[in-house]
Amino acid sequence: MAAKEWIFPDRKEDTELIGKFCARFDLPVPVARVMINRGFDTVEKAENYLNKSIDCLHDPLGMADMEKAAGRIRRAVESGEKITVYGDYDVDGITATALMVRYLRSLGADADAYIPNRQSEGYGVNRSALEAIAGRGTALVVTVDTGITAAPEVEYAGELGLDVIITDHHECKETLPAAAAVVNPKRADCPYPFKELAGVGVAFKLVCALEGGSRSVLERYGDIVALGTIADVVSLTDENRAIVEYGINKMCSDPNPGLGAVMDIVGPGSKWNSSAVVSYSVAPRLNAAGRMSSAMKAVDLLLTEDHEEAVRLAKELDEENNLRRQVESVIFAEASEMVRSRDCFGKKVLVLAKKGWHHGIIGVVASRICDKFNKSCILISVENGRCKSSGRSVEGLNLFEALSSCGDILEKFGGHAYAAGFSILEENIPELDRRLNEYADKIFRREPAPRLYIDARIEAEDLNLDTVRKTRLLCPYGAGNKTPVFALTEVRIDDLRTLSEGRHCRLMCEKNGVRIEAIAFGMGHLAGEYSAGDFVDLAGEMNINYYNGTERVQLVLSDIRLSRQWPADILPSRQDFADIYRYIKRQSRPIRDDAARLASRISYTLRRRIKREKLLGALAVFDDVGIIRLGLLGDMVKIELLPGEAGKKVNLDSSPEYIRIKKGLENSV
Ligand SMILES: [Mn+2]
């Protein structure tokens, strides 16, 4: 994990508005700040945001073609036509399929499910699937979470005698399929006020239209709808908040039998009251089936009413998930080793390929590699010379555009700024590597530090149980509504110790006479970088630590940095530049080291403290003015001295990095 750049809200603090919010909604100052900084800055917007009641869901009939879709389904139910729900193999598609089949069956319909196989069929509606469905005697196909771009396939379905209703939430192409109805809030002509429903959310709306109300649908299926919504990482704003809030409560109190069986495997019910746990523990188990064998198993799990069958299927999914985890950690280890052994400091895009890497899993690993090394990353699984690939990118590099510039050597590709997938011939991989890195070299000189977005400042005295409890009004958290990150600046470290064999770190700090407890998971290295007496800024989420029957507030740290009150600790001086440069020059070979360790080595040699942040700043400035070449790889740096012209003066002040550091210090005061 590389050092982060902290980004504070750019809006000026409006104390009058904060006061108004605190009084009106009975909020502590930091919570009011978060809401305002997130754009809920009028009483009306704030009220809507805080109101998670299911009474405020939008009318499903406000969606284009909804009436037509409901009418066609009613006709099929009444006349006993067979209906097949055609879904997708991810959790959104699985939950949408289960919801629709369950509801149709409750109406007495003859309904079944079809999910294409990830490995052999791939994503979307395909012709041979339609042939199989027609062969079953189906008259009406209802797609969920897929189908919006399947115009030719829908036409083919017509030739097979199938009627099709499309429900989807993916982006539309110019021509919509000529289906009996096309329900998608993203249709250009759809007046529906909220566009961010998941696939299961759109299916839910169709069910509500058939039912003539939302409450009874959520009472029966709210847990399934919430699960798909969380898993698809859609924005948890607007009605998605009400859906997820309601559904998580149902998941804890009265879950679907299959879902209940999965939760029994994962842990006790009380722990479930959070969308994060759902996305880290429940969703992966349902996803595993689609990745490792067939997603139909997960659909069967959500369809069954039989407790024993639910337990059996849940166990099978758990085993597939364990297998998925093993496979994932093997690929992660192999990919990490490739990065280390190949001297990737100078690369901006890591292109890693291997025979036999499971292509259902390379996407997950690509994002872990991207986080670990702070470099865009593409993982390629090679099978018989044909390769499937998945990539993730760092902020500042648009992966979709980068790949578009290589369109002539890719077979097909799709995605967006931060994630993309494609196929490529094995022989073209070196060319892709070369061209992507050439492209990225033009975008930035060094990969920018990952950004940490701060939601609000908090004062030590506001760090109390009341603030933590009232912060929960902002739940459920997820995409579009992240867990708030608070910054508490200029605290003094009183005590700092490692936990769990050096993996984590616990800090006791003090400010204005208030004691502050912080925990830094996975940041054991802090113990070597900071010590008692240091003044630091803390950024993190608040939570309650239950210990020995007492409740104490703690900050769960996302990051820590030197306090800005003494800029001299951060901004390199002339003397610092000279000393650091001399140190580099004295080394007989290029330096390759962990940045914090190198800082402490230099400090030891100079007999005065140079902290990591200052060292990294100085190195970037040297790189800017062309006297060294600096390579970054996560926490590691590589420094190569470049031959300079003798006696030539370099102007460090002109370095963009130097200007950036100075500006950052000015803004944080
Ligand atoms: Mn989806």
Hey, what are 81's tokens?
């036509």
Distance 95 CA to ligand 1 centre (A): 10
Same domain assignment for residues 271 and 355 = no
Distance 168 CA to ligand 1 centre (A): 8
Distance 200 CA to ligand 1 centre (A): 7
Same domain assignment for residues 530 and 383 = no
Check if the beta carbon of residue 256 is closer than 8 Å to that of residue 223: yes
Distance 185 CA to ligand 1 centre (A): 13
In a domain, 540, yes or no: yes
Alpha-carbon dihedral sign for residues 254, 255, 260, 262:
negative
Mean pLDDT of 571-583: 96
Better-predicted residue by pLDDT, 173 or 338: 338
In a domain, 340, yes or no: no
Distance 524 CA to ligand 1 centre (A): 38
Q: Which of 311, 339, 369 is the last residue of a domain?
A: 311
Same domain assignment for residues 535 and 582 = no
Asked if the model's pLDDT at residue 271 lies above 70, the reply is no
List the CATH number of the domain containing 198. 3.90.1640.30
Hey, what are 541's tokens?
């989420």
Mean pLDDT of 276-291: 87
Closest listed residue to residue 313, CA positions, set 261, 270, 375, 239: 261
Check if the beta carbon of residue 584 is closer than 8 Å to that of residue 628: yes
Distance 130 CA to ligand 1 centre (A): 21
Distance 475 CA to ligand 1 centre (A): 22
Distance 334 CA to ligand 1 centre (A): 30
In a domain, 48, yes or no: no
Asked if the model's pLDDT at residue 610 lies above 80, the reply is yes
Distance 80 CA to ligand 1 centre (A): 29
Distance 223 CA to ligand 1 centre (A): 17
Reported in sequence order, the residue ranges of 48-173 that DSSP labels E, i.e. its strands, are 82-86, 110-114, 140-143, 163-167
Q: What is the pLDDT of residue 273?
A: 54
Same domain assignment for residues 391 and 466 = no
Closest listed residue to residue 278, CA positions, set 247, 307, 238: 247
Write the pLDDT tens digit of every residue in 558-569.
Answer: 999 999 988 898
Q: What is the pLDDT of residue 275?
A: 79
Q: What is the pLDDT of residue 529?
A: 87
Count CA within 13 A, CB hemisphere, residue 146.
Answer: 26
Distance 212 CA to ligand 1 centre (A): 24
Distance 189 CA to ligand 1 centre (A): 21
In a domain, 275, yes or no: yes
Distance 631 CA to ligand 1 centre (A): 38
Distance 166 CA to ligand 1 centre (A): 13
Distance 324 CA to ligand 1 centre (A): 21
Distance 240 CA to ligand 1 centre (A): 14
521's enclosing H/E stretch is none
Q: What is the pLDDT of residue 270?
A: 46
Check if the beta carbon of residue 393 is closer than 8 Å to that of residue 401: no
Mean pLDDT of 114-124: 88
Q: What is the pLDDT of residue 593?
A: 96
In a domain, 361, yes or no: yes
Distance 327 CA to ligand 1 centre (A): 25
Same domain assignment for residues 505 and 421 = no
pLDDT-based confidence at residue 1 (cuts at 50, 70, 90) = low
Asked if the model's pLDDT at residue 668 lies above 70, the reply is no
Distance 502 CA to ligand 1 centre (A): 40
Write the pLDDT tens digit of every residue in 615-648.
Answer: 999 999 999 999 999 999 999 999 999 987 666 7
Asked if the model's pLDDT at residue 269 lies above 60, the reply is no
Write the pLDDT tens digit of every residue in 40-94.
Answer: 999 999 999 999 999 889 999 999 999 999 999 999 999 999 999 999 999 999 9
Distance 367 CA to ligand 1 centre (A): 19
pLDDT-based confidence at residue 122 (cuts at 50, 70, 90) = confident
Q: Which of 260, 288, 311 is the last residue of a domain?
A: 311
Q: What is the pLDDT of residue 11?
A: 86
Q: What is the pLDDT of residue 669?
A: 54
Same domain assignment for residues 579 and 612 = yes
Distance 145 CA to ligand 1 centre (A): 5
List the CATH number of the domain containing 535. 2.40.50.460
Same domain assignment for residues 364 and 498 = no
Same domain assignment for residues 183 and 125 = yes
Check if the beta carbon of residue 593 is closer than 8 Å to that of residue 601: yes
- C-alpha angle with apex 624: 621 to 625, nearest 5 degrees? 95
Q: What is the pLDDT of residue 334?
A: 98
Distance 196 CA to ligand 1 centre (A): 10
Asked if the model's pLDDT at residue 587 lies above 60, the reply is yes
Asked if the model's pLDDT at residue 123 lies above 50, the reply is yes
Residues with CB under 5 A from ligand 1 (ion): 92, 145, 199, 232
Distance 228 CA to ligand 1 centre (A): 8
Q: Which of 512, 538, 562 is the last residue of a domain?
A: 562
Question: What percent of the chain stands above pLDDT 90?
Answer: 82
Domain count, the chain: 4
Q: What radius of gyration, in Å, describes the C-alpha atoms of the chain?
A: 28
Distance 465 CA to ligand 1 centre (A): 37
List the CATH number of the domain containing 360. 3.10.310.30
Q: What is the pLDDT of residue 200?
A: 98
Mean of the per-residue pLDDT values of the chain: 93
Asked if the model's pLDDT at residue 294 lies above 60, the reply is yes
Distance 167 CA to ligand 1 centre (A): 11
Distance 169 CA to ligand 1 centre (A): 7
Question: What percent of the chain stands above pLDDT 70?
Answer: 98
Q: What is the pLDDT of residue 272?
A: 46
Distance 230 CA to ligand 1 centre (A): 10
Distance 89 CA to ligand 1 centre (A): 10
Partnered with residue 551 across adjacent β-strands are 546
Same domain assignment for residues 202 and 88 = yes
Mean pLDDT of 193-214: 97
In a domain, 319, yes or no: no
Q: Which amino acid is at 379?
A: L
Count CA within 13 A, CB hemisphere, residue 343.
Answer: 7
Same domain assignment for residues 301 and 425 = no
Distance 377 CA to ligand 1 centre (A): 24
In a domain, 28, yes or no: no
Distance 201 CA to ligand 1 centre (A): 9
Asked if the model's pLDDT at residue 230 lies above 80, the reply is yes
Distance 390 CA to ligand 1 centre (A): 18
List the CATH number of the domain containing 645. 1.10.10
Write the pLDDT tens digit of every residue in 435-456.
Answer: 999 999 999 989 888 999 999 9
Same domain assignment for residues 529 and 597 = no
pLDDT-based confidence at residue 650 (cuts at 50, 70, 90) = confident
In a domain, 34, yes or no: no
Distance 92 CA to ligand 1 centre (A): 5
558's enclosing H/E stretch is strand 550-562
Distance 485 CA to ligand 1 centre (A): 28
Distance 199 CA to ligand 1 centre (A): 5
Same domain assignment for residues 457 and 594 = no
Residue 214: domain span: 56-311
Distance 368 CA to ligand 1 centre (A): 22
Write the pLDDT tens digit of every residue in 92-104.
Answer: 999 999 999 999 9
Collect all residues with Cβ–Cβ distance below 8 Å to 85 and sequence separation of at least 6.
97, 100, 101, 104, 111, 112, 113, 114, 141, 142, 143, 144
Distance 86 CA to ligand 1 centre (A): 13
